Amino acid sequence: MATRVSGQGSRDGQARTRLARAAVVAAARALFLERGYAATTIETISKVSDVPPATVYRLFSSKLGILKALLDLSIAGDDQAVALPDRPMVRALLADRDPRKQLSGLAGLVRGIMSRAEPVHRILVSAAGTDPDAAALLAELTRQRQHGHAQFARSLARTGALQPTLRERDADDIINALTSPEVYRLLVSDRGWSPQRYEQWLTEILIGQLLPAPADTSTAPGAND
């Protein structure tokens, strides 16, 4: 009986911790977007989230720790402790032998991430201008994004799916440029595109830039026989 009570207590404690983390992250997101990173204090986040300051520091260590948790949640879409490249959907995309489906899936993946994370990325970029630790976090986030996209360029190159004159490095550069937060911000946030239109555009331009044009069979011998 004592073991079951202890186990229940542990589960209850874990549930309370997750609720507290979620409340802090939600409050921080709203405050960062409303006031900016520099003007938001741990004390204000604590007050809005109704989580004591000591608990906030215990869970996140610092305001930058909160921002990092917010970024992780925004990119992944949940708080599971599984890195994005290791998630089944990403692994399935990289293993897909149809390059058009692979790039279409990549566009959908990027759209989902950007729709959640682009506003938070903007916060980080702003913070990086004055905070060296935020600048280091931005550099690491950029490195991770580039590493993830390099896997798609490598997969396409290994299967011989790229245009004949395109090197793997060129494909990597194209993918990184087209899927960047800056392009999403320009088209969706600044120019008013819907996320759906962005995804369709991204799919079409990735396929057009990376894969050989489909063979035109309408003029092939016997095509009209």
**C-alpha distance from residue 109 to each of 8, 93, 124, 195, 220 (Å):** 37, 10, 21, 12, 37
- Closest listed residue to residue 171, CA positions, set 186, 196, 204, 149: 149
Instruction: Convert the pLDDT of each residue in 31-78 to its tens digit.
Output: 999 999 999 999 999 999 999 999 999 999 999 999 999 999 999 888
Instruction: Convert the pLDDT of each residue in 100-114 to its tens digit.
Output: 999 999 999 999 999
Give me the domains of the chain, ranges plus CATH numbers: 1-61 (1.10.10.60), 82-210 (1.10.357)
Read off the DSSP letter of residue 83: -
Q: Quote the tokens at residue 146.
A: 């580039």
**C-alpha distance from residue 183 to each of 79, 171, 191 (Å):** 26, 17, 10
- Please tell me the predicted confidence (pLDDT) of residue 86: 83
